[in-house]
A and B are shown apart, each in its own frame.
Chain A
Amino acid sequence: MSESAMTDTYERPTSTWKFLLSELKPRGNPWTIFNMISVPTVIVAVVIIVIRFIYGLSAVSNVTQTVPWGLWKGFNVVTGVAFAGGAYVLTFMVYILGLEKYKPLVRVTVLNGFLAYTFYAIALILDLGKPWNIINPIIGNSFGTSSILFLVAWHFMLYIVAQLIEFSPTVAEWLGSERARRNLKRLTIGAVVFGITLSTLHQSGLGALFLMAKGKIHPLWYSDFIPTLFFISSIFAGLSMVIFQGSILQKVFAYQLDKNSDANHNIMIRGLSRVCAIAMFVYFFLKIVDSVHNHTLGYLMTPMGVWYMIEMIGFVLIPMLLFVRGVRLGTPFTIKLASIMTLIGIVLNRMNVSVIAYRWDEIPRYIPTWMEIVVTVSILFIQIWIFRWVLHRMPVLRTMESMTATSQTQ
């Protein structure tokens, strides 16, 4: 238990209302470098969003009639969902396979997944032409049941609820309601099973979205197996995010963690690296089989082929080997490097399928405006703000006992 933490010293107010108000107040030094960059960026993004809703998408975005989905869909939605895949993989390992040693990672990963999905839904709304009609596929006056996007949208919504249920015991602990915690805890297994099922379907469903774009996506990226490839890559994308995020949290939230935490964390990321390496091998193998089967290897010597090899060798094969090496030698640095390279590889892959290799032959090419980039980054910043706010206050990385240090018996 950490005794030095600044939050350990506060007096817990008796009324829930007062408690909530006190929790809303920012703590710590507000003049950090991260804040000085993120606050102005988000303010600019708000202005851009206002302009977007007054003058239409083309006022801020470069999307065109032939490339109708740009950075907001390609990065914030399609890539972001893959990054949030860690939650279903970890809950599978811990609750289904009973691998208890990964338990310390579950809460923080589920929280991250929940926030990620919520903010990707917001990014999606910004991109919709008529966001007020988003109610249509929900309330049932016009169900497009033959649409992959209909499935993905519903799985998205239901999965956000499932993740909220998975995370809810933490909120109950924070609010000090033991009874609510116990009741919510009973729902966890159901939410986990439901959540894994939904994740399987919408991770692959995001790939299936592009099945009808046959002929529009470069043959090296188009495949009948896009759904399977998206699903498998979401496993190592999600786990790489867990590893990468963990290495940052170990530093930033060191005050919340005990002495053994670093050693434990290294054991956990070694295990996750093994899973990553195996999933990446399967993925790489499938990609090669697919290319041979579809006779697309002939494209490798074209400019798009070189771009494809950069993605597949530089950011799948090499990080896979680095993961193997990191596991063998037990070097956390190698593993962290591998996880960062894997994440870049996933960005490349998802952006390639949805934006870059989509109508690769179209001139002029779609290149996002600085305004699209500012909004994309701001969505991540706001997500990090909330993530940070929760981690400082709720028992996510540490237990309730260590937070209040004194009484709080359960």
Chain B
Amino acid sequence: MSIDRREFLKTLGVAGASLSGASALGKSKPEPDQEEFYAILHDITLCEGCQECEFACAAANNLPEPTDYPDSEVKRKLKPDQYSVINAVETSVGEVYTKQQCMHCAQPACASACLTQAMKKQKEGPVTWTEGKCMGCRYCMVSCPFDVPQFEFDDNNPKIGKCQMCFDKLKEGEVPACVGNCPAEALTFGKRSEILAEAHRRILEDPDSYVDHVYGEYEAGGTSWLNISPVPFEELGFKTDLETKPYPELTKGFLYSVPSVFVLWPALLMGLREATKKDDKEVMEGADHE
């Protein structure tokens, strides 16, 4: 989230000097940092639905082991104590397996929504949640276009449950638990630019096995989790009506107008007051109640 905040603060300064400059700044520039984020590719053609990633995820995050299995009849959902789920989907090319978890957006809606910075985009790529900062307002849940953050409604000291891309492992130079434990090598971890190139390479080399769409390249302005699939993503139940610009952009216009209102309104109001007063004596009385 550091990018967004920096941009916003910069604008706060600029807005004071030139109020009309706001719209020009509203356009998103390519983020130099973004290419350095880590990313993970899920190749749906390789996934066998074995759930090893789920078990590894549960072990890495001290969560209970999953007790149910992928079944095309049932849609398994993320839970406060399950950060990653594999679903079986019956498609035109037979049964395939999808993996759902936090997409780790480049510019996450949840982090820009969070008023305490409990949700934070780390420069390594993961979107993390810090318990000590969270108020439990659940605005991240309202904002997340993928409905990822899960709240412990049945706890008196509730946590938000979501994939942190094994941020602790990342800092030690290890790969996330799910990636490290995938026997089918359906998951690939690396710098986002390399992972994205790898995804496109696979599609180019074998165009019959894939649809030409890297899910996460542009969705929600680009994510650190990418998917490639043998069938259109609609068929898999992925959300395909998402914005291609980052979600925080939706609130930028409003945020930019705030400093302007703060400067203009009081001046306007005092001016109006002066303009409408009859003469000094009346106003002196007018300022008094009764």
Contacts and interface: CB of A to CB of B under 8 A. Distances in A.
Contacts of B243: 214-215
Contacts of B118: 142
A25 to B, nearest CB: 27
Interface in B193-237: none
A43 interface: no
B137 interface: yes
Contacts of B251: 146, 148, 208, 211-212
A150 B135 contact: no
Given A65-B147, A100-B286, A211 B138 contact: no
B115 interface: yes
B208 to A, nearest CB: 32
Interface string A192-214: 01101100110011001111111
Contacts of B250: 211-212, 214, 224
A143 B5 CA distance: 10
B154 A55 contact: yes
Given A98-B278, A136-B116, A197-B266, A130 B158 contact: yes
B273 interface: yes
A122 to B, nearest CB: 15
A63 B242 CA distance: 24
A119 to B, nearest CB: 18
B50 interface: no
B151 A68 contact: yes
B156 interface: yes
Nearest to B152: A56
Interface string B144-181: 01010011111111100000000000000000000000
Contacts of B238: none
Contacts of B272: 96-97
B52 to A, nearest CB: 25
Contacts of B287: 95, 185, 188-189
> In this complex, which of A55, A100, A213 has the most chain B Cβ atoms within 10 angstroms of its Cβ?
A213
Contacts of B154: 55-59
Contact of A98 (B109, B145, B258, B276): B276
Interface string B79-98: 00000000000000000000
A64 B79 CA distance: 11
A96 B142 contact: no
A40 interface: no
A395 B290 CA distance: 10
A90 B262 CA distance: 20
B139 A149 contact: yes
Contacts of B147: 65-66
Contacts of B265: 193, 196-197, 200
Contact of A129 (B9, B115, B135): B135
B136 A128 contact: yes
A368 interface: no
Interface string A163-174: 000000110000
B278 A136 contact: no
A220 B289 CA distance: 44
Given A129-B152, A144-B115, A214-B145, 6 more contacts: A55-B154, A55-B156, A57-B153, A95-B273, A129-B137, A197-B262
18 contacts: A56-B153, A57-B154, A68-B138, A97-B272, A98-B286, A128-B136, A131-B135, A131-B136, A137-B116, A137-B135, A150-B115, A153-B115, A204-B254, A205-B254, A209-B139, A212-B142, A212-B145, A212-B250
Q: Which 6 A-B pairs have the closest CB atoms?
A: A129-B136, A58-B153, A150-B115, A68-B138, A212-B143, A129-B158
